[in-house]
Amino acid sequence: MVKPARKDAPMALEIRPYREEDLAGMLKVWNEVVEGGEAFPQIEPLTLEKAAEFFAAQTLSVVADLDGKVMGLYVLHPNNVGRCAHVGNASYAVASSVRGLGLGRALVEDSLAQAARKGFRGLQFNAVVAGNAGAIHLYEDLGFVRVGTVPGGFVNFMGGYEDIHIYYRDCVDTRRPC
DSSP 14-54: EEEE--GGGHHHHHHHHHHHHHHTSS-S--SPPPHHHHHHH
Domains and CATH numbers, the chain: 13-170 (3.40.630.30)
- Band (174; pLDDT cuts 50, 70, 90): very low
pLDDT surpasses 60 at 178 = no
Phi, psi of 171 (to 5 degrees): -110, 0
Whether the predicted model's global pTM rises above the 0.85 cut: yes
**Separation between Cα atoms, residue 66 and residue 44, nearest integer Å:** 27
pLDDT value of position 2: 53
Instruction: State percent of the chain over pLDDT 70.
Output: 91
Query: Tell me, what's the pLDDT at 124?
Result: 98
Report the number of secondary-structure helices (H) and strands (E) in the chain. 4, 7
What would the pLDDT profile of 113-124 be if each residue is shown by its tens digit? 999 999 999 999
Helix H or strand E segment including 98: none
